Amino acid sequence: MLSIGALANIKHTLQKELFLAAGERLLSVVTVVKKKDKKPCYLCVVTTAPPVPVVTLVLVKQSEQRESEYKRKRSWQLDEIKSVDGRNEQFETHEFDLQLEKLYKWYALNLHERQNFLAVLNRQIQKSVRGQRAEFRNVPAAWLSEKSPEKVALGRAAQKAEHIDDDEEDEEEEAQEFTALTDKEANELGKLFSECDFAIKDAEQFIEQLSRELHDLDGANIQSVLASEQKVLKMMEHIDNAISEADKFETRLDSYEDILGHVKETMEKIGGKNAMIEIANNNNIKLMKELNKVISQLDLPHSQQQALDEPDLKTANGRKAAIAAAQCLQQAMNSDIDPALLRLEAVQDQRKRFEKWKQKFSATVSRFMNNLFIHLGNEIGDMPVTSTDLTLPNHSNVHRELTPYTELMHWTKAMDRKTYDGLMRVYTASLSKIYDRDVRNFFNLAKMQVSEKLRSSREDLDMSTSSRKSAVSTIPYGTLGINRDQWGPGVESADRIRFDALLEKVLAELEPIALQEQLFCINFFQMDVISPTTKNTQTTLEMEKAVDMSQSAVLGTAISPSAEGVPQKRIDRQINEDVRKLMMGLFGCLEPELVSFIQSFERVDSFYSLYVLVRLTQHVMSAQDTHSFLSMTFASALVQVKRNFDRFMQQQLQSIREAKLHKRSKAILPYVENFENFAQTAEGIFRKSDRRTDMEKWYLQLVNAIFEGIHLHSQEHPKTPSQVVRMENYHHMYALLAQLKVPGLDALKKDAKSRYNEALKAYVTQYFGRPLEKLNLFFEGVQQKVAQGVKETEISYQMAFSKQELRKVIAQYPAREVKKGLENLYKKVEKHLSEEENLLQVVWHAMQEEFIAQYNYLEERIQKCYAGAMINLEFNIQDILAFFSDIARSH
């Protein structure tokens, strides 16, 4: 596309080359192509110079030989243009048609040129063509107005050629001053000139004639003005007539309008009525729907009414019908009805009827269930108990009997809380009688088995130790601080195992029965749902709340009881509490009976608390439902057993502290001796138990008390030296603790060992002493001299420590004498030591070691101080070893 610059350029070129010579001026140019031949040519609007500008449309073509040569191809007068067709009002349209002597179709290369051209063409046509003007079709109206924005745009675009623009502007203004004579004026003028063809010859005459004529015309004019007055008056009259006619017409129109107004009003009223009718209709439909809903909700079929009036609860079918009817009634009573509707008398009446049915049915159910519970209770109660097996009777047949009525109970719970509570009480009372009897029988039997065992074992005991019969004391069997022979009767560990098994059987027997009953109650009494306690009789406006609550209750049954978060914990707790209360009512005697049963062991076996603690702990700690009645019952019993256990241990501890020695007491103190049996029994029970910790706590206390006791009693033992008492008892404790391998007692085991060693050393030191006393004294003197500065080699020159003196002292200890001394010592040691502990050899060996040490010391001294004097003791190490072994062997 040609740029604006090029456009200006071509305009300039054409002006210069072609039109300037002819004194013409180019107003607008558009570069166009015809559809058929592609060669561009230029359509120009050209004007001749003033004063009488003639505007023509010129088609210019570029010479084919020389580019710079332009030729006028054709030219038309503007009035030859019949029509201009822009084809489309869009700016982007390139085509336009000109209807001249024939239709020319052009294609403008530049849109701005086209716009400018069309605008200029229009303006020139408007300005200079008289009569039929060319019609512009499909050209934007804005282009055709004088101040078209395109012109301004063009002006802006052509700023480069400003001076040209200015000229153009001036000339255009000039041109505008010229207005063409109209055709008429031209004719008149022509006629005038033709009448006065002489005028050219005589202008003065011509002027005169003209002024005369003008004068005549003036007069004629006045006359005609005067004549026209009549016509004017007439015309005024006509106008007045017309006005009055118009007024009349107007009044008529007004009346029509009034009529129309009435019609409109009426129509509006009718419309309003129609809307009202529609609303009323809709309301009626809604009301109908609502009423239908209410009626369908509150309607109770006749068959169901009958089922409620005369329920047959004995047969399965009757029950089914009654339950179905009852559920329908419940549904109807809880139906979701708008509170406003409840004021309807019919609804109220129906509700009252419901209430009556409900009460009647509830009363029937209550009576029936009441009788059933009591009947079942009596039926079983009348059955004689002949079982001698240690089993708790199973009452699943009662549960089976009652299960079909479960839904009735649920209904009662939701509809009539009072009746429900009453029935629950009756059930508890009836069944608790049975359970009471069962549990008592059961435990009596169990106790009997305990005492049977007791009797059998006691008989054995009595036969074997009839002599002790007189000495049946109150001191319980196994008391640590008391000598064994003063204990009351006890039982064998085999009996303990039997008791333990019996206890296990009792506990195992109780668990399923209690669990079964609990499950049945939860299901039968719907205890896992907390229902509203408010009545569901919705006869007042309050029932809105009741509906909400009963709905939430229904929701509660549908959703599992873990639907909610924090409050659920409380609900659970409440449920557990309720279940526990019920179970407590049913098994009221279980806990005291269990405790009394457990205590029946105590009379038989003082150690009972140990294994009962272990056994019961297993049941309590392993329980899944830690909050159940049975778990808590067992737990309470366990706490009491634990207290008994602690008390038993406390008594043992006390007995150690209070133990007294008798004249004939043995070297091994009674509690040390008894502890072995005690610890082995305890370990047998606790070895694999979770409760080890409880036992170990007491072990520590007991062993510490024993150590204290040994220390204390060793001082006051009647026959045996304290070192020996300590040595033997600590040795005993050490051996026992090593054998028990209780981890918690490791430190005390080490303690026992060191205490034992200490006592052994003390004993040897005390009783072996120095058998070669004088030799020892002699060398003590030697040592003193050495300490005073006498050389060891010069000791023999001292008077008191001469070789002769030494020989004299040595001569006092011949081998035979030494052996005799040792023999006496051995006898003494043998007397000191107890046989049970069997420490004689150990002590003897320790003494031998001591003697050898003393011998070696003396020999070494002699070699140092009297070297070369050939002095020796009268026996050597071989002799010593022989003495010791001879003595040990001979006894």
Partner 1 sequence: MREYKIVVLGSGGVGKSALTVQFVQCIFVEKYDPTIEDSYRKQVEVDGQQCMLEILDTAGTEQFTAMRDLYMKNGQGFVLVYSITAQSTFNDLQDLREQILRVKDTDDVPMVLVGNKCDLEEERVVGKELGKSLATQFNCAFMETSAKAKVNVNDIFYDLVRQINKKSPEKKQKKPKKSLCVLL
Q: For 105, phi and psi rounded to 5 degrees?
A: -110, 125
Stretch that binds partner 1, among 407-415, 629-637, 676-684, 758-766 (CB under 8 A): 629-637
- The two tokens of residue 454 are 């007791």
**Which CB atom, from 486 or from 574, has the smaller least distance to partner 1?**
574
**Which CB atom, from 169 or from 690, has the smaller least distance to partner 1?**
690
Residue type, 221: N
Q: Are 862 and 874 in contact (CB under 8 A)?
A: no
Does 568 participate in binding partner 1 (rule CB under 8 A)?
no
Residues 492, 500: Cα–Cα separation, whole Å:
13
Does 116 participate in binding partner 1 (rule CB under 8 A)?
no
- The two tokens of residue 428 are 């508890």
Residues 612, 638: Cα–Cα separation, whole Å:
8
In the complex, minimum distance from the CB of residue 610 to partner 1, in angstroms, rounded to a whole number: 13
In the complex, minimum distance from the CB of residue 653 to partner 1, in angstroms, rounded to a whole number: 13
Order of all β-strands in the sheet with 70-77: 70-77, 55-62, 41-48, 24-34, 103-108, 95-99, 83-85, 135-137
The C-alpha angle 307, 310, 315, rounded to 5 degrees, equals: 75
**Which CB atom, from 634 or from 675, has the smaller least distance to partner 1?**
634
Residues 776, 711: Cα–Cα separation, whole Å:
33
Residues 373, 375: Cα–Cα separation, whole Å:
5
User: Parallel, antiparallel, or unpaired: how do β-strands 83-85 and 70-77 relate?
Assistant: unpaired
Does 609 participate in binding partner 1 (rule CB under 8 A)?
no
Does 626 participate in binding partner 1 (rule CB under 8 A)?
yes
Does 593 participate in binding partner 1 (rule CB under 8 A)?
no
Within 10 angstroms of residue 816's Cβ, the number of other Cβ atoms is 10
Stretch that binds partner 1, among 399-407, 429-437, 637-645, 813-821 (CB under 8 A): 637-645
Number of residues that bind partner 1 (CB under 8 A): 28
**Which CB atom, from 148 or from 644, has the smaller least distance to partner 1?**
644
Can you tell me which of 309, 452, 542, 690 binds partner 1, judged by CB under 8 A?
690
Stretch that binds partner 1, among 47-55, 312-320, 357-365, 644-652 (CB under 8 A): 644-652
In the complex, minimum distance from the CB of residue 652 to partner 1, in angstroms, rounded to a whole number: 14
Can you tell me which of 621, 735, 840, 888 binds partner 1, judged by CB under 8 A?
621
In the complex, minimum distance from the CB of residue 723 to partner 1, in angstroms, rounded to a whole number: 32
**Which CB atom, from 313 or from 632, has the smaller least distance to partner 1?**
632
**Which CB atom, from 430 or from 633, has the smaller least distance to partner 1?**
633
Can you tell me which of 691, 713, 732, 819 binds partner 1, judged by CB under 8 A?
691
Report the SS3 class of residue 1: coil
| Inter-CA distances, 561 with 171, 413, 523, 529, 805, Å | 104, 18, 14, 8, 107
Does 623 participate in binding partner 1 (rule CB under 8 A)?
yes
**Which CB atom, from 48 or from 636, has the smaller least distance to partner 1?**
636
Stretch that binds partner 1, among 54-62, 451-459, 519-527, 688-696 (CB under 8 A): 688-696
Q: For 181, phi and psi rounded to 5 degrees?
A: -70, 140
In the complex, minimum distance from the CB of residue 573 to partner 1, in angstroms, rounded to a whole number: 8
Residue type, 471: A
Beta strands in 657-767 (DSSP E): none
Can you tell me which of 646, 792, 859, 874 binds partner 1, judged by CB under 8 A?
646
Can you tell me which of 650, 784, 824, 872 binds partner 1, judged by CB under 8 A?
650
Does 858 participate in binding partner 1 (rule CB under 8 A)?
no
Positive or negative CA dihedral for 658, 663, 664, 669? positive
Residues 63, 254: Cα–Cα separation, whole Å:
77
Can you tell me which of 153, 157, 515, 595 binds partner 1, judged by CB under 8 A?
595
Does 627 participate in binding partner 1 (rule CB under 8 A)?
yes
The C-alpha angle 642, 643, 648, rounded to 5 degrees, equals: 95
**Which CB atom, from 399 or from 627, has the smaller least distance to partner 1?**
627
Stretch that binds partner 1, among 164-172, 175-183, 639-647, 725-733 (CB under 8 A): 639-647
DSSP 17: I
Longest dimension (CA), the chain: 216
In the complex, minimum distance from the CB of residue 752 to partner 1, in angstroms, rounded to a whole number: 21
Q: Are 530 and 571 in contact (CB under 8 A)?
A: yes
Angle, helix 493-524 to helix 406-415, in steps of 10 degrees: 60
Does 620 participate in binding partner 1 (rule CB under 8 A)?
yes
Stretch that binds partner 1, among 165-173, 225-233, 621-629, 756-764 (CB under 8 A): 621-629
For residue 796, the cross-strand partners are none
- At 832, which helix (H) or strand (E)? helix 815-832
In the complex, minimum distance from the CB of residue 620 to partner 1, in angstroms, rounded to a whole number: 5
Does 652 participate in binding partner 1 (rule CB under 8 A)?
no
- Sites for partner 1 among residues 694-713 (CB under 8 A): 694
Residues 607, 490: Cα–Cα separation, whole Å:
9
In the complex, minimum distance from the CB of residue 500 to partner 1, in angstroms, rounded to a whole number: 18
Q: For 780, phi and psi rounded to 5 degrees?
A: -65, -40
Residue with tokens 């395109």: 150
- Taking the alpha carbons at both ends of the chain, their separation in whole angstroms is 147
Does 647 participate in binding partner 1 (rule CB under 8 A)?
yes
Does 642 participate in binding partner 1 (rule CB under 8 A)?
yes
Stretch that binds partner 1, among 135-143, 419-427, 690-698, 751-759 (CB under 8 A): 690-698
Q: Closest Cα partner for 122 from 102, 147, 104?
A: 147
Does 640 participate in binding partner 1 (rule CB under 8 A)?
yes
- At 45, which helix (H) or strand (E)? strand 41-48
Does 578 participate in binding partner 1 (rule CB under 8 A)?
no
Can you tell me which of 74, 643, 741, 831 binds partner 1, judged by CB under 8 A?
643
**Which CB atom, from 452 or from 625, has the smaller least distance to partner 1?**
625
- At 59, which helix (H) or strand (E)? strand 55-62
In the complex, minimum distance from the CB of residue 647 to partner 1, in angstroms, rounded to a whole number: 5
Does 599 participate in binding partner 1 (rule CB under 8 A)?
yes
- Sites for partner 1 among residues 320-339 (CB under 8 A): none
**Which CB atom, from 117 or from 629, has the smaller least distance to partner 1?**
629
- For 80-109, the three-class secondary structure string (H helix, E strand, C coil) is HCCEEECCCCCCCCCEEEEECCCEEEEEEC
Within 10 angstroms of residue 385's Cβ, the number of other Cβ atoms is 11
Does 611 participate in binding partner 1 (rule CB under 8 A)?
no
Residue type, 648: F
**Which CB atom, from 535 or from 627, has the smaller least distance to partner 1?**
627
Q: Which residues bind partner 1 (CB under 8 A)?
A: 595, 599, 613, 617, 620-621, 623, 626-627, 631-636, 638-640, 642-644, 646-647, 650, 690-691, 693-694
